Structure 1
Amino acid sequence: MPIPRQRHTKSRRNRRRSHLALKVLSLSKCPKCGSPVLPHQACKNCGTYQGRQVIDVMKKLTKREQKKRAKELAEQEEKAKESK
């Protein structure tokens, strides 16, 4: 393994590490269901992006789960409309 030719100072080390801090995520609310969503990404809860349905979230669920999920989504949409 190679050995550094010269030792780096504490200030140089700290300046390099100044960019390693974690950034705060900027989350917005989905206009349809109200769940937190990353910007420029489809909502994982209801499958909408920019007001359009782009992902069918019910497709992989069983019939019983689909019915339950549809009821949950309807409740979330009502709650989101009331909060506006």
Structure 2
Amino acid sequence: MAAPKRKKSKAKTAMRKAQWMRKLTVPGLSLCPECGQPKTPHRVCPHCGYYKDKEVVEVV
């Protein structure tokens, strides 16, 4: 079985253990240019159904 050649520093160990914290962050929100409601970037707006100035989904 492979063994590490050098000891991992405390900083590297802490950085590895803190990875779960980075995954918990909320993705940034942008405003829809059509309706002005907040939406996730690169997604269809759930309020008006527009994406890149085109109506993609008809919202009831």
Query: Is the TM-score greater than 0.5?
Result: yes
Structure number, greater radius of gyration: 1
- What are the within-5 Å matches in structure 2 for residues 31-50 of structure 1? 31-50=33-52
C-alpha displacement of 1:26: 0.9
Alpha-carbon distance in 2 for matches of 1:32, 1:24:
23
- Structure 1, unaligned stretches of length 5 or more? 1-10, 59-84
Q: Structure 1 length as normaliser, TM-score?
A: 0.49
Name the structure 2 match of 1:70: none
The structure in which a higher percent of residues are helix is 1
Give the count of matched residue pairs: 47
Normalized against structure 2, the TM-score is what? Answer: 0.67
Aligned to 2:58: 56
Q: Note the residue ranges of structure 2 that are not aligned, 5 or more in a row.
A: 1-9
Q: Compute the RMSD of aligned alpha carbons.
A: 1.4
Q: Which has the higher contact order (CA 8 A, sep 6+)?
A: 1
